[in-house]
Amino acid sequence: NREKCVGCYTCVLSCPYGAIMPSAEGAMQKCELCLKTKEGVPQCVKHCPNGAIVYEER
């Protein structure tokens, strides 16, 4: 959810692949290459303090 993203870069720092990059507007762009955590979600989802990144089936 781009509206919840505050550009804190926590997801960038937690991404084991260095695959998340900011867009021109400052919000992070999604990536689908992440390993899942023990909880079953990618690192960026687990660590996003604002709940701006979600991992769910479409």
Answer whether residue 32 shows pLDDT above 60. Answer: no
Range of the domain at 34: 1-58
Average pLDDT, the chain: 76
CATH of the domain at 44: 3.30.70.20
Provide, rounded to the nearest whole percent, the portion of the chain with pLDDT above 70.
76
Partners of 36 in the β-ladder:
42
Arithmetic mean of pLDDT, 47-58: 80
Q: How many domains does the chain have?
A: 1
Answer whether residue 42 shows pLDDT above 70. Answer: yes
Q: 13-17, long-range: CB within 8 Å, 24+ apart, which pairs?
A: 13/47, 14/43, 14/44, 14/46, 14/47, 15/43, 15/44, 16/43
Cβ–Cβ under 8 Å, residues 46 and 14: yes
Arithmetic mean of pLDDT, 33-41: 68
Arithmetic mean of pLDDT, 18-41: 69
Arithmetic mean of pLDDT, 10-30: 75
